[in-house]
Amino acid sequence: KEFRVSQAPVLFLLDPGGKVARRWIGASVGMSLELASEIRKRSPALSPRPPGT
């Protein structure tokens, strides 16, 4: 599928197969929170770091 944008920031979140899972166009205050939330949903849970590291 073709996607065209004229001068706007575009960010693509790809699935493990390389397909676009989510797309953001432009910039907004809440975009970083939304992006972080999507990444957390799609990433395996991280173990807590050992004390002292």
Q: Supply the DSSP string of 24-50, one letter for each residue.
A: EES--TTHHHHHHHHHHHHSPPPPPPP
- pLDDT tier, 17 (very low <50, low <70, confident <90, very high otherwise): very high
The more confidently predicted of residues 14 and 29 is 14
In a domain, 38, yes or no: yes
Mean pLDDT computed over 1-10: 74
Task: Show the tokens assigned to 18.
Answer: 């390389």
* pLDDT tens string 37-53: 888 888 777 677 778 76
In a domain, 35, yes or no: yes
pLDDT of residue 32: 80
In a domain, 49, yes or no: no
Distance CA 24, CA 32 (A): 10
User: How many distinct structural domains can be found in the chain?
Assistant: 1
Structural domain span for residue 26: 10-42
Query: Hey, which residues does 12 pair with through a beta bridge?
Result: 23
* pLDDT tens string 20-41: 888 888 877 788 888 888 888 8
In a domain, 21, yes or no: yes
